[in-house]
Amino acid sequence: MTYDPNNIFAKILRGEIPCKSLYEDDFVLAFHDIQPQAPIHALVIPKGPYQNQDAFAVQATEAEIVGFTRALGKVAAMVGLVEGGYRSISNCGANGGQEVPHYHVHLLGGGSLGRMVSKKD
Ligand code: AMP
């Protein structure tokens, strides 16, 4: 799978469509999820063209990886997730249910989130 530069998060990074921005630095952009799944639901995305966590882990520079990881902590603190606890999720590929093919981490919280993965019947 190659990176699709027309995915929606690439368009947000280029300023072609708006987002409710939370934080930006040299390595990342963070913004509110458009369809929040918890009282607080932020997305953190790298600025580089990585389609998922695998690509990021293999291809990103050490500076990008450090910058991204530090930003996860900054954003979690910024939106008030640290004290009560929270969940970070990165859906990867078909089985992971990934919809947008640009690496992103969901930061979710603001209340109890229940089980990590819903039980299958
Ligand atoms: P995933 O299933 O992990 O790929 O998650 C993609 C997430 O992107 C979903 O939670 C969507 O609600 C969110 N999303 C899609 N389009 C936008 C947008 N324009 N602004 C903010 N969040 C978005």
Q: What is the pLDDT of residues 65-93, one digit of tens each?
A: 999 999 999 999 999 999 999 999 999 99
- This prediction has a pTM of 0.96
Q: How do the pLDDT tens digits run along the chain, 121 residues long? A: 799 999 999 999 999 999 999 999 999 999 999 999 999 999 999 999 999 999 999 999 999 999 999 999 999 999 999 999 999 999 999 999 999 999 999 999 999 999 988 777 6
Pocket of ligand 1 (CB under 6 A): 8, 19, 31, 33-35, 43, 91, 97-100
- Whose Cα sits closest to atom 5 in ligand 1? 99
**Alpha-carbon radius of gyration of the chain:** 14
Q: Which domains does the chain have, with CATH numbers?
A: 8-108 (3.30.428.10)
Alpha-helix runs per DSSP H in 6-92: 8-13, 53-59, 62-78
